Chain A
């Protein structure tokens, strides 16, 4: 079974990309789909209704959705394998953009909307850095020149990443993503799957309820203003 993990900011077009992937592989790979979200998600019902594939969702509530994803991934693989699925697609909620939900033995897709501004790839560096492919959506809304500039901005974060430009609703340009997924090997040893990078800490002294301002009052994760340029790349 192939594992495909899709991440990206809210409204980037993750589900539109996944819909195209399912459409392409629905017959050959019998895909299953899991959506991880915080409070509300409908994608599982929509995709089940549209393609008749097994789908489910899990709400993370007060837990970081990517932490949630890491917690449940092993169960999800077992669920999909019991259904004899050839492909399991995991869609993250895509919230804080620091996370790298990609694992070993899984094809990682970062979905970035072309309309998000030229600094966006820098802001989402950890999300892109450890992905196998960056899918740039909504390219029909920007000019050729701007598309190329956006591409250049992604390359400034990850020089060698595979960039796929698409209008995901129409499915243009997706053939290269399909080929890359098709070539990617399936899971060989589910017990050996680990995260590709270290996720950011989910608990700090502020999370625990300490209200004092200033790093001098905290411990564990501390950031003085002067060293604030440490770009987090996911490991």
Chain B
């Protein structure tokens, strides 16, 4: 469940700390927090209904907004306004955003695409390309090869590749993941790997399991942050149950995808505990 073949490299970039200063909601009122600080190793989830401003929130972080987006938020790096170089030079930018969109425009072979990115980031040699593809293959069940075309990859393959790319080629200390649960990838493996590399990770998610395993939960409403929750111990107990349910559903999903007819779903972990009856 982790990434044994890749040694996490401590990159000097990983010392970055991000501070989010409040903006305004859709009615122009100030958001209800003073500042949100994100350091390496932190995990946060962004939850809220569709249209509540979740994607706008991570987009602000991605562009290192300086009160120049619709939300009016200001993003600081290490407690001050980021230098122009940090914002504009992709080789120095500490943030990678993996969007919900898994369409790719670049009609290039996977290896060529990665080579161009390695060149842009200046983060290594050709050898890193095969490592990136190998890591992506740990995240997806559908094998990716270097000679496939980017435009021919499935949604799960694209997302796996982009996450592996952000970890190894981008080497960004902060990853923003927009609804990765939709993409048919091994999310537990992704999370374990991100932990191992000591990344700061922000998930936009509707997935209860993902939302519960993060350290902090940001609740969005009407274009603004409505609350920042740190449930900690209160929720720790339930995570085991949800994890079991999640595994149950994943197993069921795989069976359905594999063409099986489901005669008995078997007991879900929570129901077994309470009633002992099959679901």
Contact = CB atoms under 8 A, between A and B. Distances in A.
Main secondary structure of the interface of A (DSSP, over half): helix
A144 B166 contact: yes
Given A117-B105, A117-B107, A172-B59, A149 B116 contact: yes
Nearest to A142: B105
A151 B68 contact: no
Main secondary structure of the interface of B (DSSP, over half): mixed
B13 to A, nearest CB: 14
Contacts of B88: 163, 176
B135 to A, nearest CB: 14
Interface of B: 59, 62-63, 65-66, 68-70, 84, 88, 90, 95-99, 101, 104-108, 113, 116-117, 119-121, 162, 165-166, 169-170
Contacts of B90: 147-148, 151
A150 B106 contact: yes
A146 B104 contact: yes
B260 to A, nearest CB: 34
A170 B59 CA distance: 11
B101 A142 contact: yes
Given A151-B120, A170-B69, A173-B63, A144 B96 contact: yes
Contacts of A119: 107
Contacts of B108: 118, 149
B105 A175 contact: no
A85 interface: no
Contact of B116 (A143, A152, A163, A171): A152
Interface in A147-166: 147-153, 163
A161 B70 CA distance: 28
A147 B98 CA distance: 11
Interface residues of A, number: 29
A114 B63 contact: no
Nearest to B71: A170
Nearest to A172: B63
A70 to B, nearest CB: 32
A16 to B, nearest CB: 14
A141 interface: yes
A151 B106 CA distance: 12
Contacts of B121: 148
Nearest to A115: B105
Contacts of B97: 143-144
A29 interface: no
Interface string A159-199: 00001000100111111100000000000000000000000
A181 B63 CA distance: 20
Nearest to B56: A170
A170 B63 CA distance: 12
A84 B59 CA distance: 39
Contact of A172 (B65, B104, B116, B119): B65
A115 B117 CA distance: 17
Given A115-B105, A172-B65, 19 more contacts: A116-B105, A117-B105, A117-B107, A118-B106, A118-B116, A119-B107, A140-B59, A142-B99, A144-B62, A144-B98, A144-B170, A145-B96, A145-B162, A145-B169, A146-B106, A148-B90, A151-B90, A172-B59, A172-B69
B117 A149 contact: yes
The residue in A118, A146, A163 that gathers the most chain B C-beta atoms within 10 A of its C-beta is A146
A175 B68 contact: yes
A148 B91 CA distance: 9
B253 to A, nearest CB: 25
Contacts of A167: 59
18 contacts: A117-B105, A118-B106, A118-B116, A119-B107, A142-B104, A142-B105, A144-B97, A144-B98, A144-B170, A145-B113, A145-B165, A145-B166, A149-B120, A151-B120, A152-B116, A170-B70, A172-B63, A172-B69
